[in-house]
Structure 1
Amino acid sequence: MRGKSEPTQIAGVAMSVIGLWILLNLQFATSAESAGELQMFDGTSLSGELVRLETGQGLVWKFPAARNPLVLRPKNLTTVRLKATQGPPESFRPVSKLRFKNGDEILGNLISMDGGKFEVETWFAGRLKGRQETVEAIGFSANGYRVLFEGPTSLDGWTVGKNSRPWKYQNGAFVAKGPDILGRDFGLKTSSSLEFDLTWSAAFSLTLTLYTKTVDRFDYSASAYILYISQGGLTLQRVTAGQGAVLLGNAQIPSMLTKSSVRFEIRTNIEDASIGILVDGVPAGRWKDNSGFAAKGGGLVFYSQTDGPELKLSNMRLTALDGRYEPEISTNAPSTNDVVFLANRDRVTGKIEGVHDGKIKVLTRATHLEIPMERVVQLVLAKSEAEPVTHGPWMVRAKLIGGENLMLDIQQFQNGQLRGSNANFGSVELMTSSVRQLQFNLNRPTSGPNDLGLVSPESLSIEQ
């Protein structure tokens, strides 16, 4: 019972193993009502709420088990997850997807590009201006980019199996430690892009069923597409009800043999019955179903088939696409010229002189062209070296509830506002309610000492 007993003092900047045990085993420290979660490199996870962040003082974290808020330095932080509540308004329909050389990616509406500068309208920060040389590529969707899912933040809406060790939600990820299914019906009726980070602890086998009617089990009799993923490669099959399975293709992924985590992107184009897969941004394969698109449902099912290894799915995003041709950047990036990819699969090579009034002006070797925007699916800008990024102590990657991510050198997080500097846009201000996650120490391996990096150890007075 809380009362007048003296608090237990945990002294010293370095948190002892005993102190961590006390913190992590207090029942009220993991309350489901907590507004956020803070994670350290050593795996320590503290529920609570980010009160404020100022570079001169530290990160102030309201932790239910501590008498006073914790004040932390960033050196051993890996992730701060926030309870984002404000997403894009229904009226905002982004038709442009901008990808930058530093890894930033945003959805918005390109207003103009001229004189080495560009302007884009966003839902999270209004109109932003930047330098054209920082842009890697710009995709265009005639019907607009619709993010159907971005997370995870819980198991709500997902179906898990009835096995003894089912999929669980933990620290911003879906985690499996044994054979089990994880499914959800998104009602997919259009082409789509599914992105996720996959992390594993040992050799594994994972299947992903795409566009299935059955989301509560692994159903080999329903018309769908099944992707088999192992540590060394992948295989894609078409399954047709009453007819069985047909192999569409396979690919070896040697890089996965030396890693424990990769990022997948699976682009399904219903219109031309093709599925393209990228691993860490590199195309692994693109296969066309010559019999036409066979799947009959709108759901996804992950099935962990191995007993023992831990699998994690995180940073997931499912986006509805309009099905137009979209080339892979890494295979088409030019060295000295800009490239305009058209919906009919033609391309124009030259120099983009400007984007105005719904038209793209391109200077080719032969002439000047003006191309209507509705004919364009992607601009890939001339390849150039990205400016080196200095990862200071407060450099973070901010992930927004709408699926965007921005690298920010944070200056302040307080009173509902996040203010920082971005290499592409300069000074940026965001509503904290739009931010889902802050990732710290971007170039540091995910291991470290049991040091919380406390500015004020006395704040760790634990009430008995």
Structure 2
Amino acid sequence: MKAVIRNYRWLPGAFAALLAAATISAAEKTAKTSAAASTPKPLVDTLEFKNGDRLRGTFSSYDSGGVHWKHHAIEPLLAVKPAEISVIRVERSRPSKGTAYNCVALLAGGDELAGNLIGLDSQKLRLETWYGGTLEIARAGLRSLWLGFRQDEIVYQGPTSLQGWNVSKGMEGVFRHLNIMAAGGALDMAEVLEEAKKKDAETPSWEYKDGAFVSNGRGTLGRDLKLPEDCMIEFDLECQGYPQLGIYLYADATDKTSGINSYYLNLSARRAYLNRMTGTSSRSVGSTEIPLLDGTQSKLRVGLRASLEQKALVLYLNESLAHKWPDIGELPKRGSALIFNYMGASPLKISNLRVSKATGPLEDLTGAAAAISVKEDLVMLNNKDKISGQVQAIKDGQVAFLLQSNPITIPVERVRWIHLAQAEKADAKPPASAVRLNFALRGSVTMTMEKWEGDQVTGRSPHLGEVKFATSAFKSIQFDPAPARPSATPVSSATGSSTLFQQPVIRR
């Protein structure tokens, strides 16, 4: 049977190209995929200028002479004036173990430091960290402490392949469209469609390339990850234009997106929409404008902190709070799957996907502090009781607290967070020479950088004094930064906002 074309002169050529492209054998494609997977992806840094220009290559070093940049096509090293730089994004191999922490310190100015709590006295806080050894932070610059973080329980980290993921076929939408056209008398494509469907298995809507999931067009990618009731989902999203990405959380299926139970988040043109899907019906939980989704951002770090206990969902973009849905309701039948549904046409990439069990608080510390008193220290316990008074010290697993002139002790394991009233002051603008180093795993530190070379960066911080950090701890360097907004992203002990101090919402 021959295809009969009526006013669709472009279709024969288009299908010829489609079928020709689909003739690559499965064995050949598998070989290519295996070769790509076995070859480590080169780590490429990116330098972004204030005028918007970008330069890819390797951030070699920094010293009094400025930034030294290596480009494969240019000899010798390039010397770049720091005054012309907006941000440097660095790709480094990160440690896979030993990065857990039990405390997050929020500093005046908005920086956050994660580590294991050693103690607090009238002068300083002491944290043990993998990236900078023992840090001593001046108490005068300390806003709050968030406690109770435990060793990460990682549910999924990757991707490393498509194994275990349910992938929809990329041409299914085209098939439906053409069948409708054929039913209307415009085409008789039976043989063409049958042949194309045979080749369709070699053209999935998603594929794995160089440590990332890459879309080949519209389609879904799903897996039952056994999402915990409190979880953190993080990933890098790269696309051209608007994301047009749907994310299904706690879905009770992986091979479809209709007739299921799930929370559905749609990241679209400058807006984020959240719906609660129950079988064949869908109810809006709310939408909000998101300026970062304006189509100009080619790469975003997306974070989703879900708490079924608190019935809340928080969206983070580039490690800052984008929106919080405080009441997402309940699903009549809850699953534990995660589904990505791409609805665009241009390529989209998802990488550095990490799903973990959340172990920290979700609530807004600002509101709690303002509701009681900003003139005294405030302690919130795990049962959400709050007490105000004076935190005298933290030592040997006990918080020494003065409550209405009466000294008491509270076990650290009973404390969720501590807010220190003395830090209620305007955030000073950092000096012109300061940079902000953003941790790959969570938080940031603002400092005057003296030297970046090899595996070490040195400098001086107003709250920590002279510092020495491992360069592998950081993912970017912001030049001439404004006062930081708390990222509120305990994105890991591996991977990270918020009116008192701009609503820090801790994600776990």
Same structural fold, with TM-score higher than 0.5 when normalized by the shorter chain: yes
Counterpart residue number, 2:73 = 65
Structure-to-structure mapping, 1:63-462, within 5 angstroms: 63-87=71-95, 89-90=97-98, 93-141=100-148, 143-145=150-152, 162=170, 188-189=227-228, 191-194=230-233, 206-212=245-251, 219-229=257-267, 234-240=272-278, 243-247=279-283, 249-253=285-289, 266-270=304-308, 272=309, 274-277=311-314, 280-281=320-321, 284-290=324-330, 294-297=334-337, 299=338, 301=340, 303-305=341-343, 319-322=356-359, 325-334=361-370, 335-365=374-404, 367-382=406-421, 384-393=424-433, 395-443=434-482
Which residue identity does 2:84 align to in structure 1? Answer: N
Output the amino acid matched with 1:122.
T
Q: Which amino acid aligns with 1:376?
A: V
Distance 1:358 1:228, change over 3 A: same
Q: Against the structure 1 CA distance between its residues 332 and 197, is the aligned structure 2 distance closer, same or farther, given a 3 Å change threshold? A: farther
The verdict on how the C-alpha distance between 1:264 and 1:83 changes in structure 2, with shifts beyond 3 A counting, is closer
SS in 2 for 1:68: strand
Secondary structure (helix, strand or coil) at the match of 2:367 reads: helix
* 2:263 maps to amino acid: Y
Seen in structure 2, the aligned counterparts of structure 1 residues 178 and 97 have a Cα distance that, compared at 3 Å, is farther
**What's the CA shift for 1:287?**
1.4
- Deviation of residue 49 (structure 1)? 2.1
State the Cα distance separating 1:366 from its structure 2 match.
6.5
Give the partner amino acid of 1:51.
Answer: S
Q: Is the 8 A contact 2:127 2:134 kept in 1?
A: yes
Cα distance in 2 for partners of 1:315, 1:79 equals 20
Please state whether the residue corresponding to 1:188 is helix, strand or coil.
coil
SS of residue matched to 1:333? helix
2:46 pairs with 1:38: yes
For the 8 Å contact 2:311–2:326, the answer to whether it is kept is: yes
Q: Deviations over 1:184-232 (max 9, x none)?
A: 77653352234679999987754322244766x7623444321234567
Shift in Å, 1:320: 2.8
Partner of 1:49: 58
Q: CA deviation at 1:239?
A: 3.2
Gapped regions of structure 1 (runs ≥ 5): 1-30, 445-464
Higher deviation after alignment, 58-67 or 45-54 = 45-54
Structure 2 residues not aligned, in runs of 5+: 1-38, 172-202, 484-508
Are the equivalent residues in 1 in contact too, given 2:458–2:468 (CA < 8 A)? yes
- Comparing 190-199 with 422-431, greater Cα deviation is found at 190-199
CA change 1:96–1:390 in 2 (3 A) is closer
CA root-mean-square deviation: 4.4
For 2:358, give the aligned amino acid: L
1:326 to 1:425, Cα distance in 2 relative to 1, 3 A:
same
Structure 1 CA distance for aligned equivalents of residues 83 and 40 of structure 2: 27
User: How far did residue 65 of structure 1 move?
Assistant: 0.3
Report the count of equivalent residues: 399
Cα gap change, 1:178/1:351 in structure 2, threshold over 3 Å: closer, same or farther? farther
The whole-number CA distance in structure 1 between the counterparts of 2:156 and 2:459 is: 27
More helix per residue: 1 or 2? 2
**Whose radius of gyration is greater, 1 or 2?**
2
Alpha-carbon displacement from aligned partner over 1:339-371 (angstroms, at most 9, x marks no partner): 222222221122222211112222233633322
Q: Which residue of 1 aligns with 2:182?
A: none
- Residue 265 of structure 1 deviates from its aligned partner by 5.4
Amino acid at match of 1:98: A
Give the direction of change, closer, same or farther, for the CA distance of 1:438–1:312 in structure 2 (3 Å limit).
farther
Equivalent position SS for 2:391: strand
Instruction: Work out whether residues 241 and 295 of structure 2, in 8 Å CA contact, stay in contact via their aligned partners in 1.
Output: no
% of aligned pairs identical?
Answer: 22
Q: For the residues of structure 1 that align with 2:306 and 2:152, how far apart are their CA atoms?
A: 14
Distance 2:246 2:336 in 1: 18
Cα distance in 2 for residues equivalent to 1:319 and 1:423: 34
Name the CA shift for 1:118/1:386 in 2 (closer, same or farther; >3 Å).
farther
Tell me how far apart the structure 2 counterparts of residues 80 and 184 of structure 1 sit (CA, whole Å). Answer: 34
**Offset at 1:375?**
1.6
Distance 2:122 2:262 in 1: 48
Query: Alpha-carbon deviations, 1:288-340, whole Å to 9, x = none?
Result: 5346782322x352x454668x9999998755313x65421233333323222
CA–CA distance in structure 2, aligned partners of residues 285 and 294 of structure 1: 18
TM-score, normalised with respect to structure 2: 0.64
AA in 1 matched with 2:311: S
